[in-house]
């Protein structure tokens, strides 16, 4: 009899403890659910915002909305004043929340198809026929050698004047082919050279800019693709007297 009484008491205690734990869990879940459902104010894109739009002009493109806290995206912008002096780095579509990560200083914005100019260098552009620019295969980020040919009276010379020059932009080159569109074709689109001249922009220091400009004004320039590891030494001024190797390098 005593054993049954002890067993019944133990069962009752376990039941009470379990009930208390269950109630505490349910209350905690309710609290968590309520916390996630707390309304917060967010800024939502109402009209398409083009890349480059200043933060000061966003008022006409966005609206204020109320969402549950759990639906608000981390990094959202709560006040348009926080975007003063910044510009959109990409197109923004209606319905998306306004995020700080989509904005930056105008001087930090990198245009598509370009690479950042290293500190201390400047950009200079030259217009070249495709055969003078590696058949038009150059792209931003490549490094090239600059070769200058010129005629000085009766003297004809060619020399590699610069090496490992960074290409920051190429305009006029054909776009990279779509692999899906090119599938099943015998000749890839990338094998065709551009039909017109290319505008190649180089990052150089002031002294090298003079060399490039002189070559474009008074001679002809050729660019060679110089990938990492390529040899650039052993050049010499090539003239009619040594073009066939008459003068040792």
DSSP string, 141-202: T-EEEEEEEEEETTEEEEEEEEEEEEEEEEESPPPPPPHHHHTT-SS-GGGSPPSS-EEEEE
Spans of all domains in the chain: 39-108, 114-175+195-249
C-alpha distances in Å from residue 99, one per residue of 36, 72, 89, 110: 20, 11, 11, 19
Paired with 169 in beta bridges are 114, 201
Give the model confidence (pLDDT) of 77-134 as tens digits: 988 998 998 988 888 999 999 999 888 887 666 666 888 899 999 999 999 999 999 9
pLDDT at site 99: 92
CB neighbourhood size of 228 (10 A): 6
CATH for 39-108, among 3.90.1210.10, 3.40.50.980, 3.40.50.300, 3.90.550.10? 3.90.1210.10
Look at the pTM and tell me if it is higher than 0.85: no
Between 231 and 106, residue with greater pLDDT = 231
Token pair of 182, please?
Answer: 């090119």
Read out DSSP for 18-79?
HHHHHHHHHHHHHHHHHHHH-EEEEEEE-S-B-TT-BGGGGGGTEEEEEEEGGGSPTTB-S-
pLDDT tens per residue across span 131-182: 999 999 999 999 999 999 999 888 899 999 999 999 999 998 665 555 554 4
> What mean pLDDT do residues 17-23 have?
57
Task: Please give the pLDDT value at position 35.
Answer: 52
């Amino acid at each position: 009899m005593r054993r049954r009484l002890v067993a019944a008491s133990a069962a009752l205690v376990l039941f009470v403890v379990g009930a208390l734990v269950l109630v505490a869990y349910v209350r905690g879940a309710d609290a968590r659910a309520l916390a996630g459902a707390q309304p917060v104010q967010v800024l939502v894109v109402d009209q398409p915002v083009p890349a480059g739009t200043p933060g000061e002009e966003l008022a006409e493109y966005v609206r204020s909305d109320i969402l549950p806290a759990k639906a608000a995206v981390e990094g959202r912008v709560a006040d348009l004043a926080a975007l003063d002096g910044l510009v959109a780095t990409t197109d923004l579509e209606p319905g998306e929340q306004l995020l700080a990560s989509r904005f930056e200083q105008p001087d930090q914005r990198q245009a598509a198809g370009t690479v950042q100019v290293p500190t201390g260098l400047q950009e200079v552009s030259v217009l070249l026929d495709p055969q003078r620019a590696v058949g038009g295969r150059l792209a931003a980020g490549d490094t090239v050698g600059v070769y200058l040919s010129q005629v000085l009276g009766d003297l004809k010379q060619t020399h590699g004047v610069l090496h490992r020059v960074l290409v920051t932009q190429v305009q006029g080159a054909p776009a990279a082919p779509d692999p899906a569109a090119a599938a099943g074709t015998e000749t890839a689109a990338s094998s065709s050279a551009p039909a017109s001249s290319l505008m190649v922009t180089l990052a150089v220091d002031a002294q090298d800019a003079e060399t490039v400009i002189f070559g474009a004004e008074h001679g002809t320039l050729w660019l060679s693709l110089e990938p990492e590891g390529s040899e650039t030494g052993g050049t010499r001024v090539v003239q009619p007297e040594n073009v066939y190797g008459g003068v040792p390098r």
